Amino acid sequence: MTYIAKPRLHHPKLPTNALGYTHRDYEGAVSTLCAGCGHDSISAAIIQACFELSLPPHKIAKLSGIGCSSKTPTYFLGKSHGFNSVHGRMPSVLTGANLANRDLVYLGISGDGDSASIGLGQFAHCLRRAVNMVYVVENNGVYGLTKGQFSATADKGSKVRRGPVNTDSPIDLVALALQLGASFVGRSFSGDKRQLVPLIKAAIEHRGAAFIDVISPCVAFNNNPESTKSFDYVRAHNEAVNRLDVILERDEITADYAPGTVETVTQHDGSMLRLHKLAPDYDPHDRISAMAYLQQRHAEGEVVTGLLFVEPDSDDLHALSGTVEIPLNSLDEAELCPGPAALVQFNAAHR
């Protein structure tokens, strides 16, 4: 495999965002994933979301573990620094990066094997710590990169081609994220751009640990109709609780929605999430009822998607630990080194 750069010729009429960037400025190298892989659709949604939010690409850091899903950061945001780390350990690397510089946007890209199998511990602990990030699991229920073994999100009773039947219970990362204290939890489907793009935008605008589980069919190893991670299954059983618009402070606010079915959530940075509620009894502010609702629908064989929980005023790790407002990596020697004078006192106290 080699690196393929996309030609960077700009069409003069390409629309630009508030920064003057075009969509192309958010793209990466040409994908080397299988044609039709759900992961590529998620990359496209990330590109779209960052373009629409007018984020300066170099102020985004993309980190991942290992897997087909974790390879995708090469295929979006080519002007951002990226780090393809080790299998299952993206959360710790992202946490460290975030500690060093609180001013960047952190995208953590992972797979279901990466996060629910080998990396379940790190998945859990970085959500507990309220690291300010968008954590995306591209969930296909298999290990794509190692050619089709079960991951921990695989359905009970599912079968690997010419292989064994899975007898283990699946892990629902959304349920775990809710329990672990993530302050933004959503689920979507790689094939549903209308739902996924605003969800990613809202997660980026959110301060704190935002987790999105994106069901992303693996066309090579797990797109059989009975799999709950297949296109057909999700299309037939998708129970979307809401649809989302993200309105930034600078956007004009229009009131074109009927009261009663729409709820507006204002996040810490002033951005507004306009939720078109499809399930009228669904309350995205109550962690416990979100957990209960999720389990009820799951029992019915339905896949609940949408913004499942949000705590708009949550604090992040930096706020909780009281670090300075400027990035730690920008502190200079004068601010860091106590110098010889302090040693005089220190030595005296050790005699």
Ligand X SMILES: Cc1ncc(C[n+]2csc(CCOP(=O)(O)OP(=O)(O)O)c2C)c(N)n1
Residues that bind Mg ion (CB under 5 A): 111-113, 140
DSSP H or E run through 81: strand 81-84
Q: Which residues contact 153 (CB under 8 A, 6 or more apart)?
A: 112, 116, 139, 141, 170, 171, 172, 173, 229
Closest alpha carbon to 64 in 134, 144, 5:
134
Q: Counting contacts by CB under 6 A, is residue 221 touching ligand SF4?
A: yes
Q: Counting contacts by CB under 8 A, is residue 120 touching another protein?
A: no
Closest alpha carbon to 216 in 173, 168, 250:
173
Q: Counting contacts by CB under 8 A, is residue 260 touching another protein?
A: no
Q: How far is the CB of 138 from ligand X (least distance, A)?
A: 6
Q: Counting contacts by CB under 8 A, is residue 89 touching another protein?
A: yes
- Taking the C-alpha atoms of residue 221 and residue 219, their distance in angstroms, rounded to an integer, is 6
Closest alpha carbon to 248 in 25, 44, 49, 79:
49
Q: Counting contacts by CB under 8 A, is residue 329 touching another protein?
A: yes
Backbone angles phi, psi at 57, to 5 degrees: -55, -35
**Interacting span for another protein (CB under 8 A) from 44-52, 83-91, 139-147, 268-276:** 83-91
User: β-strand 105-111 against 60-64: which pairing, if any?
Assistant: parallel
Binding mask 138-167 for ligand X (x = CB under 6 A): x-x-xxxxx----x----------------
The number of beta carbons lying within 10 Å of the beta carbon of residue 207 is 20
**Interacting span for ligand SF4 (CB under 6 A) from 138-146, 234-242, 254-262, 323-331:** 138-146
The number of beta carbons lying within 10 Å of the beta carbon of residue 36 is 13
**Interacting span for ligand SF4 (CB under 6 A) from 9-17, 32-40, 183-191, 324-332:** 32-40
Q: What is the DSSP string of 114-158?
A: IIIITTHHHHHHHHHTT-SEEEEEEE-SEETTTTSEE-TTSPTT-
For ligand X, the closer CB: 145 or 202: 145
For ligand SF4, the closer CB: 229 or 287: 229
- Pick the binder of another protein from 11, 162, 250, 351 (CB under 8 A): 351
**What pairs with residue 240 in β-bridges?**
305
Which chain residues interact with ligand SF4 by CB under 6 A?
33-34, 37, 39, 68, 140, 144-145, 218-221
Which chain residues interact with another protein by CB under 8 A?
1-3, 56-59, 61, 63, 73-74, 78-86, 89, 91-101, 103-104, 121-122, 124-125, 129, 318, 321-325, 328-329, 331, 333, 335-340, 342-343, 346-347, 350-351
Which chain residues interact with ligand X by CB under 6 A?
66-69, 87, 111-114, 138, 140, 142-146, 151
